[in-house]
Chain A
Amino acid sequence: MKFLDEYRDGELAQKLAAEIHRATTKPWTIMEVCGGQTHAIVKFGIDELLPKQIELIHGPGCPVCVTPLEMIDKALEIAARPEVIFTSFGDMLRVPGSTTDLLSVKAKGGDVRIVYSPLDAVKLASENPAKEVVFFGVGFETTAPATAMAVFQAAQNGLKNFSMLISHVLVPPAIEALMSSPNCRVQGFLAAGHVCAVMGYEEYFPLVKKYRVPIVVTGFEPLDILHGILMVVQQLEAGRAEVENQYARAVTRAGNQPAQALLKKVFQVVPRKWRGVGEIPQSGLGLAGEYTAFDAEKKFGLADRHVDEPADCLAGLILQGQLKPHECPAFGTKCTPEHPLGATMVSSEGACAAYYRYRRH
């Protein structure tokens, strides 16, 4: 397939791996921020090609995984209401809440539907005026503009039966939180290419300066990831700490400015709980100004609901790179994709799911 197979070429991958071997003289710990990159690494076996001194640790960039338990519980409560059509991206449906998940709510008669774009949810609301249509807006800066556009269009069309349960999160505050933790072992980052396609990479310059850590904006195909790792290693070996862009075919320094303008119009930056991690200041997006009328938490009276995370799921440590999935005592025993303790086991970008699926033995 064009624009894809070129970036999965086995020979080029071996060449890049050989270059990484040549460049590496010391042990280095590198975090790939995005869960999509984690899955590519495990799926293609990229880490098997690397020198033993390089440790990849998996970051918090799985939007499904970091959506806090209380938000899942709110979604479950709204979705079970008879007047509601609850819409969501597909991989939220298996994520366990305190007692159940959206697939089970659907099995019990809740009208839960998978949509591919938040705009499909807006369309559903126009077509079903007697129903309350709710969209579960989760994700990083990558999916936030589409959510923003849906709210914007709903407002323009004067839709009263549409609302959103918003749990959008931001990458740079998460990196900041990781770096300021005393347990942090990360020496270099692969930044998430698709987030940067929207936001650009201006935001990373202060982080590089403050923490003396290389950040390389990286794509998602095997050659992208190997190239990103090589660029981080070269910086580390040379004692440099800079922002570099491996994913130049999709990312510019300024990013997608119309998308950013829309985000500014519809959202405000708010503190946000991350599942397993806790609250990170200024790390989320919430509806702003006139658009708060579309806030499902307010509409359904759930804004003050708080739920504590269960103790036996160690997803928080995994999302912060302090534990590998297979090191968790519950991995593959108490916790499987069929009976997950946490979202990292069921999300298509979750590190536990990747380890379970591709290297269980």
Chain B
Amino acid sequence: MENKVNFTASCPIPISQYPHVMMAHGGGGTLMHRLLEDVFGKAFSNPILDTRHDSAQFTVPPGRLAMTTDSYVVRPIFFPGGDIGSMAVHGTVNDLAMSGARPLYLSCGFIIEEGLPMETLWRVVCSMRDAAKKCGVQIVTGDTKVVDKGKGDGLFINTTGIGIIEHEKIISPQNVQPGDAILVSGDLGQHGMAIMAVREGLQFESAIESDSAPVAAPVLALVNAGIEIHCLRDLTRGGLASALNEIAEAAGVKIAVEQKNIPVREDVHAACEMLGLDPLHVANEGRFIAFVAANDASRALEILRQHKVSSNAAAVGNVVEKSAPRVTLKSAIGASRILDMPSGEQLPRIC
């Protein structure tokens, strides 16, 4: 049974004694030992971690391994629909899934700014624990550093993941073929707009929630159903536009997508319109695109739609031909234009 912890009441380090993280919590002495044992050790407990060795030891089933790493620096730490902890698990697990891998193990490195409320740390750790359980991965090793007040932004997390590839498919941009159908796993832009709304204090009629979620299950369902998957790509910063351009460049192809087929929720669309942002440039944390053989496209969509996280999956376009890399978008009124990567940071417009 999952041990649900009430954040305040159950924080295992007595709050009266250490309400905030201090430099000593990273100093290698008793306080650090207590932090590792009572917070991380308690929350993430599993046989591999519990050996308390310098490195985790495990055997893996036969097959190729996939490995990835990512660092998480989101502000605010807690946002509608998620937090830095769940995001640090989902993001890395999703990167593994993009090779068609079954995620197995994570490491996590915490860089904590002196003064972070202990309760905040505990909430994040509990959120990571719950997310890892949901994704079926174990956190088997980790590291903690505390930096001086003002030298960090509360909390940074790095996670590295290892997964096992239990099939023979080569899923990579180089495998993209002319004629491939391009599927997106759901509506776009929720995460980026949720963060922007909280960060900038923007009030919309209803709160937009982040789409942060693990996507390994629908990906593995595609693999297991024998869908001819040529490439997968997690849609994070830079949104759909960046992902399509990266793949067009890596594969040397022309890609064409159609605006009216790309799902964007109405509230996200409205928020983007108000701020002058393009939903196709906005970040996601629980969405991916799949390049699949055209013959398999409708079956792949059916499979995706059976999973909650990808229930709004849609076919948005196709790979036109081998050529100089280019992504074009057919606009709402039927004319065609380039769909470019965003340039740098997304800045709200003047009027």
Q: Give chain A's interface residues, CB within 8 Å of chain B.
A: 1, 4-5, 8-10, 13-14, 36, 42-46, 48-49, 63-64, 89-94, 103, 114, 116, 138-140, 142-143, 194, 222, 336-338, 347-349, 356-361
CB-contacts of B267-285 with A (<8 A):
269-270, 273, 275-276
Query: Per a CB cutoff under 8 Å, which of A91, A93, A222, A357 touches B340?
Result: A357
Complex CA–CA separation, A89 to B200 (angstroms):
13
Give how many B residues have a beta carbon under 8 Å from the other chain's beta carbons.
27
Chain A minimum-CB-distance residue to B345: A103
Expressed in whole angstroms, the Cα–Cα distance for A166 and B350 within the complex equals: 14
Which residue on B lies nearest to A113, using beta carbons?
B200
Chain B residues positioned under 8 Å from A13 (CB to CB): 333-334
Contact B349 A348 (CB under 8 A): yes
Cβ-based interface call for B1 (8 A):
no
Known contacts A139-B350, A349-B349: does B269 contact A45 (CB below 8 Å)?
no
User: Which residue on B lies nearest to A223, using beta carbons?
Assistant: B333
Complex-state Cα separation, A149 to B270, whole angstroms: 26
A45–B351 CB distance below 8 A: no
| A10 B332 Cβ-Cβ under 8 A | yes
**A13 to B333 CA separation, bound complex (whole angstroms):** 6
B333 & A49 in contact (Cβ 8 Å cutoff): yes
Say whether B64 faces chain A, with CB atoms less than 8 Å apart.
Answer: no
Assess whether B102 is interfacial by the CB under 8 Å rule.
Answer: no
Report whether A8 and B348 are in contact in the complex, using a CB–CB cutoff of 8 Å: no
Which residues from B are CB-within-8-Å of A89? 348-351
Interface centre among A89, A92, A194 (most CB of B within 10 A): A89
Knowing that A116-B202, A348-B350, A358-B340 are A-B contacts, what are 4 other residue pairs whose CB atoms are under 8 Å apart, sorted by A's residue number?
Answer: A8-B332, A45-B333, A358-B338, A360-B340
A94 to B347, Cβ gap below 8 A? Answer: yes
In chain B, residues 328-351, which have Cβ atoms closer than 8 Å to a Cβ of chain A? 331-338, 340, 343-345, 347-351
A361 to B275, CA, bound (A): 28
Q: Is the CB–CB distance between B331 and A44 below 8 Å?
A: yes
- A93 contacts which chain B residues (CB < 8 A)? 347
Determine whether B326 belongs to the interface, using a CB cutoff of 8 Å to chain A: yes
Of chain A, the residue at the smallest CB distance from B347 is A90
Indicate whether B266 reaches chain A with its CB closer than 8 angstroms: yes
The smallest beta-carbon distance between A2 and chain B, in angstroms, is: 8
Whether the pair B331, A349 counts as a contact (CB closer than 8 A) is: no
Given contacts A1-B266, A89-B350, A92-B350, contact A114 B335 (CB under 8 A): no
Contacts of B333 in A (CB 8 A): 8-10, 13-14, 44-46, 49, 222
Describe B's contact surface by its main secondary structure.
loop
A95, chain B: closest CB distance, angstroms: 10
The complex places the Cα of A143 from the Cα of B350 at a distance, in Å, of: 8
Question: Which residues of A sit under 8 angstroms from B332, Cβ to Cβ?
Answer: 5, 8-10, 44, 222
Asked whether, in the complex, the Cβ of A4 is within 8 Å of the Cβ of B335, the reply is no
Give the distance to chain A from B203, nearest Cβ to Cβ, in Å: 11
Q: How far is the CA of A348 from the CA of B276 in the complex (A)?
A: 8
Do A338 and B331 have beta carbons less than 8 Å apart?
Answer: no
CB distance from B32 to the nearest CB of A (A): 32
Task: With CB as the reference atom, state the residue of chain A lying closest to B346.
Answer: A90
Q: Flag if A338 contacts B350 (CB, 8 Å).
A: no
In the assembled complex, 10 residue pairs joining A and B whose CB atoms fall closer than 8 Å, in A order, are A1-B270, A5-B332, A10-B334, A44-B331, A45-B331, A45-B336, A48-B336, A49-B335, A139-B350, A358-B338
Interfacial chain B residues near A142, Cβ < 8 Å: 351
- Chain A residues within an 8 Å CB radius of B269: 1, 4
List 4 tightest A-B contacts by C-beta distance, closest first: A45-B335, A90-B347, A13-B333, A337-B343
Tell whether, in the assembled complex, residue B331 and residue A43 are in contact, meaning their CB atoms are under 8 Å apart: yes
A8 and B273 alpha carbons, distance in the complex (Å): 13
Q: Which B residues are in CB contact (< 8 Å) with A46?
A: 333, 335
Query: What mask results when residues 307 to 338 of chain B are scored 1 for a CB within 8 Å of chain A, else 0?
Result: 00000000000000000001000011111111
Contacts of A336 in B (CB 8 A): 343
* Complex contact A114–B347 (CB within 8 A): yes
State how many angstroms separate the Cβ of B268 from the closest Cβ of chain A. 10
Nearest CB in chain A to that of B273: its residue: A4
Chain B residues with Cβ below 8 Å from A143 are 350-351
Residue of chain B at shortest CB distance from A64:
B350
**Residues on the A chain within 8 Å of B326, using CB:** 361
> Nearest Cβ distance between residue A345 and chain B, in whole angstroms?
10
For the complex formed, measure the closest distance between the CB of A73 and the CB atoms of chain B, giving whole angstroms: 19
**CA–CA, A309 to B347, complex, Å?**
25
Cα-based distance from A356 to B349 in the complex (angstroms): 17
Contact status of A43 and B351, CB under 8 A, knowing A116-B200, A337-B344, A361-B326? no
Which of chain B's residues have a CB closer than 8 A to the CB of A139?
A: 350-351
Closest chain B CB from A124 CB (angstroms)? 11
| Bound Cα distance from A272 to B269, whole angstroms | 37
CA distance A90 to B351 in the complex (A): 10
Q: How far is the CA of A327 from the CA of B39 in the complex (A)?
A: 62
Whole-angstrom CA separation of A116 from B199 in the bound complex: 12
Tell me which residues across on chain B come within 8 A of A90, comparing CB atoms: 347-350
Interface 0/1 of B17-47, CB less than 8 Å to A: 0000000000000000000000000000000
Q: Which of B270, B326, B334 has the most CB of A within 10 A?
A: B334
Q: What 0/1 pattern do residues 54 to 70 of B give for CB contact below 8 A with A?
A: 00000000000000000
CA distance A9 to B331 in the complex (A): 10
Query: From residue B266, how far is it (CB to closest CB) to chain A in Å?
Result: 5
Q: In the bound complex, do residue B344 and residue A91 qualify as a contact, i.e. CB atoms below 8 Å apart?
A: no
Q: Tell which of B266, B336, B340, B348 touches A116, judged by Cβ atoms closer than 8 Å.
A: B348
CB contacts (< 8 Å) of B276 on chain A: these are: 91, 348
Name the distance in Å between A123's Cβ and chain B's nearest Cβ.
Answer: 10
Cα distance A357–B273 when bound, in Å? Answer: 18
**Chain A residue, CB-CB nearest to B260:** A10
State how many angstroms separate the Cβ of B240 from the closest Cβ of chain A.
15
Distance between Cα atoms of A49 and B260 in the complex (Å): 18
Alpha-carbon distance A14/B351, docked complex (angstroms) = 28
